[in-house]
Amino acid sequence: MMEKVIFSFREVGMLWVEGGKKIQIKRGLKTMETNKVSHERIPSSEMKKRFPMFNFPDDCEGILEHTACSMYASRCLAALQVGLNMLKRVHFFVKY
């Protein structure tokens, strides 16, 4: 009997923030543009207006990744357990 595990992803978006030389922001933008990931580049002044609950430094910049998702850890662990249980039932034959 196969066990059934349902993965749940929730699209919540992700705000990437960096100050200084913004090396990771530049790399992230290049990767997102190359892979056609929906995103938005946001300067510090705009982030302060849109996300007033945070205290952003003046020299920072952000990338809002619209389609980023979060996963439910309990369901991921359940899937791992199912996989481990299935491996116990499989016999591997290796010839040397």
Where in the chain are the domains? 9-89
Model confidence at 26, pLDDT cuts 50, 70, 90, reads: very high
Each residue's pLDDT tens digit, 55-93? 999 999 999 998 887 777 777 788 788 878 877 776 666
Do 37 and 69 meet the contact criterion of CB atoms below 8 Å apart?
no
* pLDDT at position 7: 57
Which residues have a Cβ under 8 Å from the Cβ of 69 and sit 6 or more positions away? 9, 10, 11, 12
Report the amino acid identity of residue 51: F
Q: What angle do CA 15, 8, 24 make, to 5 degrees?
A: 25
CATH topology of domain 9-89: D-Amino Acid Oxidase; Chain A, domain 2 (3.30.9)
